[in-house]
Amino acid sequence: MKPRPPSLLSPARMGDLNRSRLLQSLFDLGPTSRADLARHIGVNRATITGIVQPLIDDGILVEGEPASSGGTGGKPARPLQFSRDAPQIGAVDLRHGSVRTALVSWTGEITAVEREAFPTEGGDPRAAVAAVLASLSRTLSAARQPPLGIGVGATGMIDTERGVIVKVNLAPVLSGLGLGAVLEGETGLPVYLDHHPRALLLADRWFGIGRSLRTFAVLYLSDVIGGALQLDGHLQSGPAGAGGELGHTFVQLDGEVCACGRRGCWETVATIGWLRRQARAAGLPGDMTPALLAGQAEAGSDAAARLLDLYARNIAVGIANLQQTLAPNHFVLHGDVVEAGERLRAAIEAHVGLLVPPRPGSEPRVLLTDQRGRATLRGAAGIVLSRRLQFQL
């Protein structure tokens, strides 16, 4: 089969690309003048004006107050920034047994947060669907105007093309649920589903620590483990959203049986469930959390310090495998591990350094997200922004 020859971009497609580059630059740089945007993107002022004016007319951008001219006598520049009146984005954070919904602005402001719970067992998803719709209905009633769309960051295996939750080990009731079509039918808005860790990465990419990084990985470490990757500015996923199931990569071939039915998955040695079993065996509280463990280690408990080091090493094993494969270099942690703070972060980074052969310029760094409880909702909004505005991810 002959390779397909490269095709030229149409003027319309080129315009879409330039618009997405400009909006991406505003997310990365914050309020910025037209001249600075032109220099940053590498186009002339006339091109910038042609992109900007429709965005101002549509209420997405506004011009801020003139900046000081610095005594040069020139006309003060007026920075472009996202409008507070731009259409908000509906965001859904769907986990095992619970859902949160909110409205998110283009600057990451979160409002109209609602919550519902639902049973995770059984084969009838109607209670889960009803919970999502009830929470989302209350949230959308607070919108100033029809939202740009609805983004869903969902746990489990996701088919992003069909908007289907394929399988959730810890919440079987969600398995096979075509949530995208249900929400589109009920709201009349475009709906986009994606894997929860990819939503976390988009939160860091658009609104947090990832704005300055071209390449990085996100790891969610809690009762389950998941991950997402951005390589050279591009969000990575397989066909129909496959991939990111890092908790089910193998770290111990003859290890414990995982919830997925296989042996030796990373989740068998680095989740909260594992941590609590180890804590009970060591005579520590059975309701152990990473934050409590770090606190007890700081207070002088030798048993807690040993368990914290083992926990850090087990987390580092999975990170080292990912570093050896794709070298993202920066690993942003989410989930319960973040609450343990610097002591656990530093211990994980130290173990990664021992496990990965040194390579100049590629020293792996472990970072804690600056999003905390806002990440999935912001990331769900990021899913909509990326899809609707054709950002180059």
User: Left (φ > 0), alpha (ψ -120 to 50) or beta: where does 145 sit?
Assistant: beta
Residue 131 is predicted with a pLDDT of 97
Residue 75 is predicted with a pLDDT of 67
Each residue of 301-336: pLDDT tens digit? 999 999 999 999 999 999 999 999 999 999 999 999
Confidence class of residue 152 from pLDDT cuts 50, 70 and 90?
Answer: very high
The residues pairing with 190 across neighbouring beta strands, listed in sequence order, are none
The residue among 318, 284, 322 whose CA lies nearest residue 303 is 284
Contacts of 66 (CB under 8 A, 6+ apart): 76, 77, 78
Residue 8 is predicted with a pLDDT of 54
Each residue of 166-184: pLDDT tens digit? 999 889 999 999 999 999 9
Is 211-370 in the same CATH topology as 89-202? yes
Cβ atoms of 302 and 283 closer than 8 Å: no
Residue 9's Cβ-side half-sphere holds a number of Cα atoms within 13 Å equal to 8
Which of the four CATH numbers 1.10.3470, 1.10.10, 1.20.58, 2.60.40 does domain 12-63 have? 1.10.10
Residue that the structure tokens 């914290």 belong to:
308
Per-domain residue ranges of the chain: 12-63, 89-202, 211-370
Its CATH architecture, for the domain 89-202, is 2-Layer Sandwich (3.30)
Q: 121-130, 153-162, 267-276: lowest mean pLDDT where? A: 121-130
Cβ atoms of 204 and 219 closer than 8 Å: no
Its CATH architecture, for the domain 211-370, is 2-Layer Sandwich (3.30)
Confidence class of residue 4 from pLDDT cuts 50, 70 and 90?
Answer: low
Stretch 91-116: mean pLDDT: 96
Residue 217 is predicted with a pLDDT of 98
Cβ atoms of 91 and 150 closer than 8 Å: yes
Each residue of 218-231: pLDDT tens digit? 999 999 999 999 99
The residues pairing with 195 across neighbouring beta strands, listed in sequence order, are 154
